[in-house]
């Protein structure tokens, strides 16, 4: 068993390790989340575009995998615009998760996240629970708002290096973390996110004041990751500077659905060159759907080149 590390986050959650697995929709699995929790941290599932029944089912599977004593450490991440569009009376996605008493709800990328934070707080008050709210921020101003206006329990400072969704306005994580800690020194725990794949990086960020670190890309290189074998092969072959943040990866979504400045970071491939040459959304979507290796969406952060093999999540966590 690894030694315990004491931070604001570990004290808040009564856990041994300040490692948080990112809520990676269509990548994180109950088995991955369970391994992170059993390693002493806290794990998140990503709700993605799945309906209430499916999200609740996956959450129940993860909770069962860790047992009753640790079930509260399974969290679920939601994208704000997805809730805006699909969280309805007929498909109550957030409510279905809250009814299972998750340890935390993680919210990001929406025009009205306060509405869903209020729903979590109301559910807590009505049922005598304490589901925490994790909130992704991409600038210091957003971090200050998360503390003062939304009273987030945990703030996730997401740097420019982050894989998956992120902001074109985010500073590099070390710069961002330093500024956020200075801006709200007595606030809630601040987690560092973005391109974190090594123990040395984790130690450095904790020394800078992070209460924990969010690990995403590193856990893609695991047997438990939902990615296909071909996608994992792409990851293994990636070198330095292999990723890019680009609108090219957004063709699969309706125009304007993501908030301003929010784009995906993926392994750079033919999608980017096609986009830069003027390919339209329908053409790009067709190439993604074809399964062609040079047009796959493989989300990954800048630390992708640091990892050289596929392992069990338990080894990484």
Q: What is the CATH number of the domain that holds 54?
A: 3.20.20.70
User: What local confidence, expressed as pLDDT, does residue 3 receive?
Assistant: 67
Q: For residues 186 and 276, state if they share a domain.
A: no
Lowest mean pLDDT among 60-69, 128-137, 193-202, 278-287: 278-287
Three-class secondary structure of residue 13 per DSSP: helix
Q: For residues 130 and 29, state if they share a domain.
A: yes
182, two tokens: 């200075």
User: What local confidence, expressed as pLDDT, does residue 2 receive?
Assistant: 58
If phi > 0 it is left, if psi is from -120 to 50 it is alpha, else beta; for residue 170 that is: beta
| This prediction's pTM | 0.96
Residue numbers of the domain that contains 113 = 8-226+308-316
Q: For residues 60 and 183, state if they share a domain.
A: yes
Which parts of 131-249 are beta strand (E)? 132-137, 154-158, 164-167, 190-193, 212-215, 243-246
Task: Indicate whether 96 belongs to any domain.
Answer: yes
Above 90 in pLDDT, residue 291?
no
pLDDT band at 292 (very low <50, low <70, confident <90, very high): confident
- The tens digit of pLDDT for each residue in 60-95 reads 999 999 999 999 999 999 999 999 999 999 999 999
Lowest mean pLDDT among 2-11, 195-204, 205-214, 225-234: 2-11
pLDDT band at 1 (very low <50, low <70, confident <90, very high): very low
Task: Indicate whether 292 belongs to any domain.
Answer: yes
Q: Percent of the chain scored above 70 by pLDDT?
A: 99
Task: Indicate whether 76 belongs to any domain.
Answer: yes
The enclosing H or E element of 78 equals strand 74-79
Q: For residues 211 and 146, state if they share a domain.
A: yes
Q: For residues 54 and 166, state if they share a domain.
A: yes
Task: Indicate whether 1 belongs to any domain.
Answer: no
Q: For residues 66 and 125, state if they share a domain.
A: yes
Q: How many domains does the chain have?
A: 2
Q: For residues 205 and 248, state if they share a domain.
A: no
Task: Indicate whether 194 belongs to any domain.
Answer: yes
- The tens digit of pLDDT for each residue in 262-289 reads 999 999 999 999 999 999 889 999 999 8
Find the mean pLDDT for residues 34-39: 97
Task: Indicate whether 3 belongs to any domain.
Answer: no
Q: For residues 152 and 203, state if they share a domain.
A: yes
Q: For residues 63 and 77, state if they share a domain.
A: yes
User: What local confidence, expressed as pLDDT, does residue 235 receive?
Assistant: 97
pLDDT band at 290 (very low <50, low <70, confident <90, very high): confident
Find the mean pLDDT for residues 111-124: 95
Task: Indicate whether 204 belongs to any domain.
Answer: yes
Q: For residues 240 and 293, state if they share a domain.
A: yes
Q: For residues 186 and 290, state if they share a domain.
A: no
Q: For residues 61 and 141, state if they share a domain.
A: yes
Task: Indicate whether 258 belongs to any domain.
Answer: yes
β-pairing, 74-79 vs 212-215, is unpaired
Q: Percent of the chain scored above 90 by pLDDT?
A: 90
């Amino acid at each position: 068993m690894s030694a315990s590390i004491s931070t604001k986050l570990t004290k808040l959650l009564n856990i041994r390790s300040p490692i948080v697995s990112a809520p990676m929709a269509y990548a994180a699995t109950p088995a991955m989340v369970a391994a992170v929790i059993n390693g002493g941290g806290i794990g998140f599932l990503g709700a993605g575009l799945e309906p209430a029944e499916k999200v609740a089912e996956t959450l129940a599977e993860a909770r069962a995998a860790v047992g009753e004593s640790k079930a509260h450490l399974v969290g679920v991440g939601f994208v704000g615009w997805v809730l805006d569009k699909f969280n309805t009376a007929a498909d109550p996605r957030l409510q279905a998760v809250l009814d299972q008493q998750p340890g935390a709800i993680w919210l990001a990328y929406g025009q009205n996240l306060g509405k869903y934070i209020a729903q979590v707080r109301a559910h807590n008050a009505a049922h005598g629970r304490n589901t925490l709210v994790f909130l992704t921020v991409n600038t210091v101003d957003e971090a200050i708002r998360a503390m003062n206006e939304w009273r987030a329990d945990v703030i996730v400072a997401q740097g420019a290096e982050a894989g998956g969704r992120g902001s074109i306005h985010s500073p590099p994580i070390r710069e961002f973390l330093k500024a956020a800690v200075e801006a709200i020194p007595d606030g809630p725990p601040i987690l560092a996110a973005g391109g974190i794949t090594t123990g040395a990086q984790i130690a450095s960020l904790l020394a800078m004041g992070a209460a924990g670190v969010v690990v995403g890309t590193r856990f893609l290189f695991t047997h438990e990751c939902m990615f296909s074998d071909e996608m994992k092969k792409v990851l293994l072959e990636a070198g330095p500077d292999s990723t890019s943040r680009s609108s090219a990866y957004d063709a699969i979504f309706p125009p304007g659905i993501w908030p301003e400045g929010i784009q995906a970071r993926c392994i750079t491939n033919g999608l980017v060159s096609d986009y830069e040459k003027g390919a339209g959304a329908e053409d790009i979507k067709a190439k993604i759907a074809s399964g062609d290796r040079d047009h796959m969406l493989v989300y990954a952060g800048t630390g992708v080149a640091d990892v050289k093999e596929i392992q069990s999540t338990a080894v990484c966590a």
